[in-house]
Amino acid sequence: MKLIAIVLVLAVPARAATSTFQALGKGFKAPVVVAQGFDAQVIFSNLTAPRGIAFDANQNLLVVERGFGITAFTRVSSPSAGWRRTVVIENPKLTQGIQVDGRNLYVSSGDSILVYEYDIATTSVDATHPPYTFVGGLPANGPVNTHTLQLETDLTGRTVAVLVAVGPSVNIDPLARDPNSGRSTIRRFPIPLREAPLYDPVPFDFSEGQVLAYGLRNPTGFTFHSGWNTFTAGTKNLFVVDNGPELDNVPGLDAAFLSENPADELQQIQYTVGPDSEIPSPQFYGFPDCFTIWNPAADELGVRQYLGTKKGAQFSAQLTPERDDAWCRNKKNNVAPVLPFQAHTSPLDIKFFTPSLFNSNSSFPATYGGDAFVSFHGSLGQPLPSGYGVVRVPFIHGLTPPNVDYSFVIQAMNLTTCPGDCIRPVGLAFGEDGKLYVSSDNSGELFVLQRKIAT
Ligand SMILES: *[C@@H]1O[C@H](CO)[C@@H](O)[C@H](O)[C@H]1NC(C)=O
Ligand SMILES: *[C@@H]1O[C@H](CO)[C@@H](O)[C@H](O)[C@H]1NC(C)=O
Ligand SMILES: *[C@@H]1O[C@H](CO)[C@@H](O)[C@H](O)[C@H]1NC(C)=O
């Protein structure tokens, strides 16, 4: 017993030593344009593909460095102002998902959801406990295996479920028509009432998850809208960003049309949780049959059949005769997005801004309260690169006004050089300070957007 204690004491300094510091004032790898009245500062450079990010209750920013593990970033003011990076977990299998609830740190790999016991005071995990597998057997194949996570809380704030995203098995995946296929879907895993930290010898199998929605091609990011909503207390109002496919083999469409279609999407899922954690039957969100028009006139001469439709209209990929344009436009068959995003911009995360008690003159303005912010990873292989930034989507009373325009708060300055060293935003998180923190995987950067202080 005594021997073990000595070993543990010796292990602590080794962990603490894996900290590095970066002073404020380092530049971006490639130039950015920031919206008027805002300012962007690099927090840390040269990271290993930073993806999902989340704040713990002490305002340490936890980051999935994909291919490395989890790191924590803590603001330091002396001897010089900057950020300290501490290694929390070395696990190269972790891909993107990260959520923290007290001592429970939820992370995702290609095939499982793991829970580490997290010590907020030292930003470290308990080295004596291996992580607990909360869900095993996730499908790890297909073009994406990032498995975004979102915790669901009840009206008292207690975490009651974990939502898990799964993408398609191939670009156009017929399996996604079946809610039980486990592809292009969000599944919900209720957490049994038990003591924290959460250690349970029996993991869920992925097949046991409740289907929240299906036909969402690649639900890369999702979050609940809590404030400013007009919905009944207890109704969950989840907003999801979804990445469209390449429709290269669909008859009647050509490269010029497909360079601006189909749109990427903002989807809304509303549900109410019953007393035994039961949820309503899931709805179908269109994939692989129904898609969204971004620009109906992208090829006015070559593809004329959508000229009479508007941005946001549903159209069919004509994979089966029954699921034609009329079928796709019938709300009973297919839930259309609440907002289309420009084709190929690859939205990866969404967060709502809520002004907090700690707001200062560099926080986002209170008039942005309730608005959504979405990261655009950016297009690849398109003649004109698009995305490579973060946009603000105005919301009014928990809804996007019809045909609302979104606008960039930050974007790579010269899109023709992208991807190159351009920012490729992935994870978003608002701090208690009312500033927006962003990870950028390709450029290996973590940065913060804040209001510019007038001088
Ligand atoms: C990142 O790494 C590059 C190449 O090693 C180096 O030139 C640069 O100074 C580093 N940036 C920072 C902020 O440490
Ligand atoms: C912003 O807030 C800080 C801290 O509260 C204060 O010192 C500073 O004068 C303010 N600046 C402006 C331009 O209001
Ligand atoms: C953008 O980058 C391209 C390719 O490097 C270059 O030719 C062009 O001059 C740049 N445009 C601006 C405005 O800097």
pLDDT (tens digit, 9 = 90+) per residue, 122-137?
999 987 888 989 999 9
CATH number of 19-451: 2.120.10.30
User: Measuring CA to CA, which residue among 150, 149, 155 is closest to residue 226?
Assistant: 155
User: Measuring CA to CA, which residue among 384, 308, 306, 374 is closest to residue 341?
Assistant: 374
Residue where the block lists tokens 């003159």:
361
Place 198 in a pLDDT band, splitting at 50, 70 and 90. low
Query: 235 CB under 6 A from ligand 2?
Result: no
- What pLDDT, in 10s, does the model give residues 66-117? 999 999 999 999 889 999 999 999 999 999 999 999 999 999 999 999 999 9
The torsion of the CA quartet 246, 251, 256, 258, rounded to 10 degrees, works out to -20
The Cα-based distances of 373 to 66, 411, 427 in angstroms read 23, 13, 11
Q: Which amino acid is at 204?
A: F
Pocket test for ligand 2, best of 358, 360, 361 (most atoms within 8 A of CB): 361
- Give the per-residue pLDDT at 196: 52
Nearest CA to ligand 2 atom 5: 360
Q: Which ligand is nearest to the CA of 33?
A: 3
Indicate which atom in ligand 1 lies nearest the CA of residue 46: 1
414 CA from centroid of ligand 3 (Å) = 6
46 CA from centroid of ligand 1 (Å) = 6
The Cα-based distances of 406 to 341, 375, 393, 403, 409 in angstroms read 9, 12, 5, 10, 10
Place 200 in a pLDDT band, splitting at 50, 70 and 90. low
Query: 46 CB under 6 A from ligand 1?
Result: yes
Nearest CA to ligand 1 atom 13: 45
Residue where the block lists tokens 């939820």:
106
450 CA from centroid of ligand 2 (Å) = 14
Q: Please state, for a pLDDT cut of 70, what percent of the chain lies above it.
A: 92
The Cα-based distances of 5 to 2, 16, 130 in angstroms read 5, 17, 17
415 CA from centroid of ligand 3 (Å) = 8
Nearest CA to ligand 1 atom 5: 46
Report the pocket of ligand 3 as residue ranges, CB < 6 Å: 414, 416-417
Indicate which atom in ligand 2 lies nearest the CA of residue 455: 13
390 CA from centroid of ligand 1 (Å) = 24
CA atoms within a 13 Å half-sphere pointing along the CA-CB vector of 356 = 12
Indicate which atom in ligand 2 lies nearest the CA of residue 362: 1
Angle subtended at Cα 68 by Cα 66 and Cα 69, rounded to the nearest 5 degrees: 85
Residue where the block lists tokens 């929605």:
213
Q: Which amino acid is at 307?
A: L
On the question of pLDDT at 161 being above 80, the answer is yes
Task: Look up residue 445 and give its two tokens.
Answer: 């950067």
Place 3 in a pLDDT band, splitting at 50, 70 and 90. very low
Q: What are phi and psi of 256, to 5 degrees?
A: -65, -40
Query: 454 CB under 6 A from ligand 2?
Result: yes
Query: 45 CB under 6 A from ligand 1?
Result: yes
- Pairing mode, if any, of strands 235-242 and 407-412? unpaired
Nearest CA to ligand 1 atom 7: 46
- What pLDDT, in 10s, does the model give residues 299-352? 999 999 999 999 999 999 999 999 999 999 999 999 999 999 999 999 999 999
361 CA from centroid of ligand 2 (Å) = 6
Whether 133 contacts 203, CB under 8 Å: yes
Q: Which ligand is nearest to the CA of 420?
A: 3
Distance, CA of 209 to CA of 189 (rounded, Å): 5
Whether 108 contacts 96, CB under 8 Å: yes
127 CA from centroid of ligand 3 (Å) = 50
Query: 20 CB under 6 A from ligand 1?
Result: no
Query: 358 CB under 6 A from ligand 2?
Result: no
Place 201 in a pLDDT band, splitting at 50, 70 and 90. low
Nearest CA to ligand 2 atom 3: 361
29 CA from centroid of ligand 1 (Å) = 9
Place 227 in a pLDDT band, splitting at 50, 70 and 90. low
Q: Which amino acid is at 215?
A: G
Q: Which ligand is nearest to the CA of 422?
A: 3
- Give the per-residue pLDDT at 129: 83
CA atoms within a 13 Å half-sphere pointing along the CA-CB vector of 236 = 25
Distance, CA of 306 to CA of 300 (rounded, Å): 9
Task: Give 207: exposed, middle or buried? Use CB within 10 Å, 0-12, 13-18, 19+.
Answer: exposed
Distance, CA of 37 to CA of 374 (rounded, Å): 19
Query: 361 CB under 6 A from ligand 2?
Result: yes
The verdict on whether omega for the bond into residue 419 sits within 30 degrees of 0, i.e. cis, is yes
- Give the per-residue pLDDT at 193: 64
On the question of pLDDT at 144 being above 90, the answer is no
DSSP letter at 383 equals S
On the question of pLDDT at 5 being above 50, the answer is no
Q: Cβ contacts of residue 93 below 8 Å, gap of 6+?
A: 109, 110
Indicate which atom in ligand 1 lies nearest the CA of residue 45: 13
Mean pLDDT of the chain: 91
Distance, CA of 410 to CA of 33 (rounded, Å): 6
Distance, CA of 186 to CA of 258 (rounded, Å): 27
Residues 142-149: what's their mean pLDDT?
90
Nearest CA to ligand 3 atom 10: 414
- What pLDDT, in 10s, does the model give residues 19-56? 999 999 999 999 999 999 999 999 999 999 999 999 99
Query: 26 CB under 6 A from ligand 1?
Result: yes
Indicate which atom in ligand 1 lies nearest the CA of residue 44: 13
Nearest CA to ligand 3 atom 14: 414
Q: Which ligand is nearest to the CA of 451?
A: 2
Angle subtended at Cα 417 by Cα 416 and Cα 418, rounded to the nearest 5 degrees: 90
